[in-house]
Amino acid sequence: MERLRISPLHPVLGAEVAGVDLSQPIDDATRQALSRALADHLALVIPGQALTPAQYLAAATVFGPPMEQHYSQHNMADFPLIGLIWHRNGQRPAEQWHTDHTNRERPPAATILYGVEIPSAGGATSVASMRAAYLELSEDERRRLQGLTTFNSLDRDRTDTRPEDLDKYGQAIEHPMVRTHPIHGSPAVYFHISKATHIRGMTPEASQAYMADLLQRMIRPEVVYRHAWRKGDVLVIDNRATMHRAHGDYDRQESRVLWRIIVEGDRPRLMG
Ligand SMILES: [Fe+2]
């Protein structure tokens, strides 16, 4: 395999990776380099890929074992570990800042998106460094957040959740609001405003208000990498230290299709 080249895309997060063809088997040294690059840069763009579902699944294992996604109605019929992000099957773009599947005890370490059909304008995906955002908070607020946890379930604002998904993935799971990255030990803010039912010891209303206020204050342009999609891009997002969102600013006559894989991670922990 040719040599991996990693070039930062933004001062705070995001890097483009050249020199890897994800349709081919990936050697151990390259796997390790990609994993480490993800932890360091928090978002990797690997452009110019042409992948079948089976090749895509094999490549995703670089970042961890693929795991089942809830909202199973959007999974590919023949490859249920791949979720389809596509507005024409009734989905709305996820425009609220979030991190994926916080209702799991061990939420995904990474979310991987592959650009299959890309609109001619708009429809970007933005990623925010919650590690950089955490460092910008006052020391008092960092200390306060270190003592807080959220309880997480499936999104309350969805009406199309299948009963079997609710049974499997609807129980309350508690996570710290600051988590330590298992690779390099840096802290990052961690919560999902519409999956968190409440913060321990706070009412749902006060919890929502505080999380909304945090998002407003923490996610500034300086900590955001906005990815304008090209067909064939693979975007890997480190969920252990980022939040992301979709941009719905594209012409709905055009198609925007992304294939999503999530890979297993650790249980979020705050280490002292
Ligand atoms: Fe997401």
pLDDT band of residue 170 (cuts 50, 70, 90) is low
34 class by beta-carbon count within 10 Å (0-12 exposed, 13-18 middle, 19+ buried) = buried
Q: Which of 72, 33, 76 is nearest to 54 (CA)?
A: 76
Looking at residue 76, its pLDDT comes to: 94
Mean pLDDT of 38-54: 98
Mean pLDDT of 35-44: 98
Phi-psi region of 19 (alpha: psi -120 to 50; beta: other; left: phi over 0): left
Looking at residue 235, its pLDDT comes to: 98
Structure-model confidence comparison of residues 103 and 2, the more confident one? 103
Residue entry with tokens 């596509």: 86
pLDDT band of residue 167 (cuts 50, 70, 90) is confident
Looking at residue 72, its pLDDT comes to: 79
180-231, pLDDT tens digit by residue? Answer: 999 999 999 999 999 999 999 999 999 999 999 999 999 999 999 999 999 9
Quick check: 171 pLDDT over 90? no
CA pair distance 31, 28, nearest whole angstrom? 5
Looking at residue 74, its pLDDT comes to: 86
- Position 44, amino acid: L
Quick check: 176 pLDDT over 60? yes
- The answer to whether 254 touches 86, Cβ cutoff 8 Å, is no
Quick check: 272 pLDDT over 80? no
Q: Ligand 1 center to residue 132 CA distance, Å?
A: 20
CA pair distance 196, 96, nearest whole angstrom? 13
- The answer to whether 1 touches 20, Cβ cutoff 8 Å, is yes
Q: Ligand 1 center to residue 245 CA distance, Å?
A: 6
Looking at residue 245, its pLDDT comes to: 98
Please state, for a pLDDT cut of 90, what percent of the chain lies above it.
Answer: 85
Q: What angle do CA 90, 128, 158 make, to 5 degrees?
A: 25
Q: Ligand 1 center to residue 85 CA distance, Å?
A: 10
Q: Ligand 1 center to residue 267 CA distance, Å?
A: 18
Q: Ligand 1 center to residue 2 CA distance, Å?
A: 32
52-106, pLDDT tens digit by residue? Answer: 999 999 999 999 999 998 777 889 999 999 999 998 767 888 999 999 999 899 9
Looking at residue 97, its pLDDT comes to: 97
- How is residue 271 written in tokens? 């280490």
101 class by beta-carbon count within 10 Å (0-12 exposed, 13-18 middle, 19+ buried) = buried
Q: Ligand 1 center to residue 1 CA distance, Å?
A: 31
Least confident of 15-29, 68-82, 151-165: 151-165
Q: Which of 148, 235, 244 is nearest to 192 (CA)?
A: 244
DSSP string, 113-168: EEEEE--SS---EEEEEHHHHHHHS-HHHHHHHHT-EEEE-S-TT-S---HHHHHH
Q: Ligand 1 center to residue 100 CA distance, Å?
A: 5
User: E strands, the chain, where?
Assistant: 5-8, 15-18, 43-46, 66-67, 83-86, 110-117, 125-129, 149-152, 173-176, 178-180, 187-189, 196-199, 224-227, 234-238, 242-246, 257-263
Q: pTM for the whole thing?
A: 0.94
Report the mean per-residue pLDDT for the chain: 94
252 class by beta-carbon count within 10 Å (0-12 exposed, 13-18 middle, 19+ buried) = exposed
138-153, pLDDT tens digit by residue? Answer: 999 999 999 999 999 8
Q: Ligand 1 center to residue 94 CA distance, Å?
A: 7
Quick check: 114 pLDDT over 90? yes
Structure-model confidence comparison of residues 81 and 157, the more confident one? 81
